[in-house]
Amino acid sequence: MKNDLGDLRKSYQKGALDEAQIPSNPLVLFDQWFLEAANHDGVDEVNAMTLSTSDTDGFPGSRVVLLKGYNVDGFTFYTNYNSRKGRAIESNSRVCLSFFWPALERQIIIKGEATKISDAESLAYFESRPRGSQIGAHASSQSEEVLNRDFLEEQLDFYENKFKGEAVPKPVHWGGYLVRAQSFEFWQGRDNRLHDRIVFVKDGQRWRRMRLAP
Ligand SMILES: Cc1cc2nc3c(=O)[nH]c(=O)nc-3n(C[C@H](O)[C@H](O)[C@H](O)COP(=O)(O)O)c2cc1C
pLDDT digit string (tens) for 131-140? Answer: 999 999 999 9
Ligand 1 geometric centre to CA of 66 (Å) = 8
Percent of the chain at pLDDT exceeding 70:
100
Give the CATH number, domain containing residue 177.
2.30.110.10
1 pLDDT more than 90: no
117 is a domain residue = yes
Return the pLDDT at 199: 98
CA dihedral 53, 143, 65, 124 (to 10 degrees): -110
Closest Cα partner for 135 from 106, 97, 164? 164
Backbone angles phi, psi at 57, to 5 degrees: -90, 5
153 is a domain residue = no
Atom of ligand 1 nearest to the CA of 85: 27
Residues with CB under 6 A from ligand 1: 45, 48, 61, 63-66, 77-79, 83-85, 142-143
**Residues annotated as catalytic (active site), given as ranges:** 193
Return the pLDDT at 56: 84
Ligand 1 geometric centre to CA of 30 (Å) = 22
Domain that holds residue 27: 19-126+173-211
Ligand 1 geometric centre to CA of 51 (Å) = 9
193 is a domain residue = yes
97 pLDDT more than 90: yes
94 is a domain residue = yes
174 falls in which pLDDT band (50, 70, 90)? very high
